[in-house]
Structure 1
């Protein structure tokens, strides 16, 4: 029996109502804040996550205008208001504001216009709370400033480092070449660009250069450029002036705090391109201006920078400005991956065994022949850092009376995969299921997942955000996997 037009309309209406309820339920439970307003700026949807971020009750928000909810915002500072006016989306914007209860909040917002037949009918904002991150960042800056003031008052100052050239281990020709260049660079004041995959010891080289230089008694400050949202990075580098934005106070940046000493900028390729231009100007002029400030201050800082991708690839894909590259690349030091310095693997293994014997109060004498062979054929995608963690993991598996690391003491990636499948050439793409069994399915899936993530990171030049988007996962989830797999 055919369905009449009237019945079809009723059925569609019921389905739309059910879908609307399900959609509202879904938006209510996800861990991203969602704020939906109409074209007048009146709130029509506000999920629980957004309520938690803003410290408000949803019942007090629905039907309220954004400026009644957040009195500190203006037409210019409110991302929702700007999008309603301009119709242009705003992505990953840091916003600091006060809610109606006087609570200060900092979030990263992405705001999009909602249009119907070419007219703006509203806007939706997706928010991630970073208030705690900003607070911790401020505390780190304050502690650094306090430490800097105290050390300057002392005659025998101690910088915040622990590594010297004597701590660096390796006999391979590639490593020795890099070490020689680093020692020569320590005699000068020139900028240095240290390149090498993750886990090859770039910061150890940077600390060693500083401690062998005439700046050894001055501050050494290390900052990972990928660890701070780009919207906060400018204030971290150059400092802030009270009133520059809501919640801003007079605070020196790390350039001022490193005055007279060395500033190590790790993963410089992750720095926003606009900030790269400002960084270049500071390096050329030797003067820094705080965010919101009107005056400049002279700084005397030596820059050591590092990146975990090829600088030429970064230049090719416009990740790194060419003028900044040439300014930093006065001295270039290439650290080889562990797979290219196999003669150092056993040497480093002995070193870490000695370290962990002291930490664990044990007397491990060495590794078995099978372990040595496995280490020499493994790809070591995490390089020296992964080797160190592998030895530490083995120590946790040893019985008190055992004095030698055997294959069964090693992490699963060494015991569940056949040795030949872990060579450098086999990390290029996922292979078919290995013929050596038994192997549990989760272990094999993890091995494939690791290869896929590693290849995606290479394709996107180490950019975690782009890799996460390409893989269809959240950035935090990808960062967890990267740490888990020592990538």
Structure 2
């Protein structure tokens, strides 16, 4: 009892000066528990009371082990107190002392005051609530910045020859049931291409479901995609997954290379069998889907580093489309700038006509690591502070953009150093890698007498990707 008084709840809150701070958590959707160093609950929000079906008045100032059927070893909060380290995304199935079962995911973080452990704050998300939220997230609608049904290939901005080829490949692929894989860096427009393929297909009236494979916790992704069967695990219910719910439509698996390898195996099986099996179920459910996937780095690199199954890549990449980064289609810069100015004039109620010559020079020198998405954000940021000016000038650009390094140009000092290329004193590994890649493609074409099919098979890439490489490096098949 002496220890409890020493760390009594009131003193704990005063030490942290948290009286107003904790009220922030009153109405958030996650359950929140704050316990002091003795494991006594000093804060318990409304969402947590819904998860546990307990009255907060019967929980506050009680020991965790008195409220839950847990001990110091099985309680995530008590483990966090013991280890004095954060415990992140830890699934736990527990029971309250009143008999309510809950299947949850915990994120517990220790709280220190003057280098002394004074308590723990824990965020709890109910498994079923989380999976239902993700599975039922609405697609952007007409009340947002664009109407998804109106996203067509004609609305994709660009005249760069390689980029236009990508659009044409995607347009042709939309009329077939074959899977399509989009390869492009973050911000190049993979989601735009995927929606355009769906809207140009015979499935346009059916459901389109985008799934960000990198954003969903690994322990939830399988149930969300395939669904669950009652009895599969404690607390599970019969629920259709996204594959079932999108039947006859199109599903877009974004950043599929971030998906766990074990789940990739199940995805491959479902594609081959054209059916899904819910988690814990025995029967197969037939599905008819157009599958579009994307990777944000070269799939051959992902295969070699073990993050992408080669057989899944060959199955999903029947049609492989490379969307080139912004730095390789700088001829489209003016078109894109004018497009985004027009778009945000409407959204922000502005009357901007153009960007200044100085800003255009800065844009042309910049490497655009965030690609087209970054360009739009830079334009939008400038238009928020342009006032009544009809021209975006350098003074309107955000400081973080102006302070970023610019792209080295051909006129700067260049020299060789060992096997790397140097521009302005910096190793240019991209240039060195491109030269090496060009030599490989040229030698492969020479070895196969310019035959595209044989060369693509020799390099273990698709014909579309080989055509892209030939155009990119200006290689003559002769």
Q: TM-score range by the shorter chain?
A: 0.5 to 0.7
Structure 2 CA distance for aligned equivalents of residues 229 and 128 of structure 1: 18
Deviation track 1:363-407 (CA, whole Å, cap 9, x = no partner) reads 21101000111111111111111111111111101112x111111
Deviation track 1:150-179 (CA, whole Å, cap 9, x = no partner) reads xxxxxxxxx964411011010112211211
Partner of 1:229: 217
1:129–1:109 Cα change, 3 Å = closer
1:423 maps to 2:407: yes
**Of the candidates 194, 198, 208, which is equivalent to residue 210 of structure 1?**
198
Partner of 2:371: 383
Q: Does structure 2 retain, via aligned residues, the 8 Å contact 1:225–1:265?
A: yes
Structure 1 CA distance for aligned equivalents of residues 137 and 365 of structure 2: 45
What are the ranges of 5 or more consecutive residues in structure 1 without an aligned counterpart?
1-20, 37-43, 84-89, 111-125, 148-158, 426-487
Structure 1 CA distance for aligned equivalents of residues 138 and 402 of structure 2: 44
Partner of 2:96: 99
Q: Does structure 2 retain, via aligned residues, the 8 Å contact 1:269–1:307?
A: yes
Q: Does structure 1 retain, via aligned residues, the 8 Å contact 2:70–2:94?
A: no
Structure 2 CA distance for aligned equivalents of residues 312 and 127 of structure 1: 43
1:260 maps to 2:248: yes
- Give the 5 Å matches for 1:184-203: 184-203=172-191
Partner of 1:275: 263
- Give the 5 Å matches for 1:333-412: 333-400=321-388, 402-412=389-399
**Of the candidates 285, 290, 294, which is equivalent to residue 302 of structure 1?**
290
Structure 2 CA distance for aligned equivalents of residues 47 and 340 of structure 1: 59
Deviation, 1:311, is 0.7
Structure 1 CA distance for aligned equivalents of residues 172 and 124 of structure 2: 42
Deviation, 1:358, is 1.3
Compute the RMSD of aligned alpha carbons: 4.0
Partner of 1:474: none
Residue 297 of structure 2: SS of its match in structure 1? coil
**Of the candidates 140, 162, 166, which is equivalent to residue 174 of structure 1?**
162
Partner of 1:330: 318
Deviation track 1:296-337 (CA, whole Å, cap 9, x = no partner) reads 110001110001111111111100111111111111111111
Partner of 1:248: 236
Structure 1 CA distance for aligned equivalents of residues 262 and 304 of structure 2: 17
Q: Does structure 2 retain, via aligned residues, the 8 Å contact 1:106–1:129?
A: no
1:61 maps to 2:63: yes
1:95–1:161 Cα change, 3 Å = farther
Partner of 1:138: 132
Q: Does structure 1 retain, via aligned residues, the 8 Å contact 2:68–2:94?
A: no
Structure 2 CA distance for aligned equivalents of residues 345 and 308 of structure 1: 22
Residue 190 of structure 1: SS of its match in structure 2? coil
1:58–1:359 Cα change, 3 Å = closer
Q: Does structure 2 retain, via aligned residues, the 8 Å contact 1:34–1:46?
A: no
Aligned length: 354
What are the ranges of 5 or more consecutive residues in structure 2 without an aligned counterpart?
1-6, 17-21, 23-30, 80-86, 109-119, 142-146, 410-478
Deviation track 1:16-56 (CA, whole Å, cap 9, x = no partner) reads xxxxx9xxx9xx98x999999xxxxxxx9637699777788
1:46 maps to 2:39: yes
Partner of 2:413: none
Structure 1 CA distance for aligned equivalents of residues 64 and 350 of structure 2: 63
Residue 291 of structure 2: SS of its match in structure 1? strand
- Give the 5 Å matches for 1:431-450: none
Deviation track 1:444-477 (CA, whole Å, cap 9, x = no partner) reads xxxxxxxxxxxxxxxxxxxxxxxxxxxxxxxxxx
Deviation, 1:361, is 2.2
Structure 1 CA distance for aligned equivalents of residues 326 and 361 of structure 2: 15
Partner of 2:469: none
Partner of 2:415: none
When you count helix as a share of all residues, which structure comes out higher? 1
1:100–1:403 Cα change, 3 Å = same
Structure 2 CA distance for aligned equivalents of residues 256 and 194 of structure 1: 23
Residue 422 of structure 1: SS of its match in structure 2? coil
Deviation, 1:245, is 2.7
Structure 2 CA distance for aligned equivalents of residues 142 and 169 of structure 1: 31
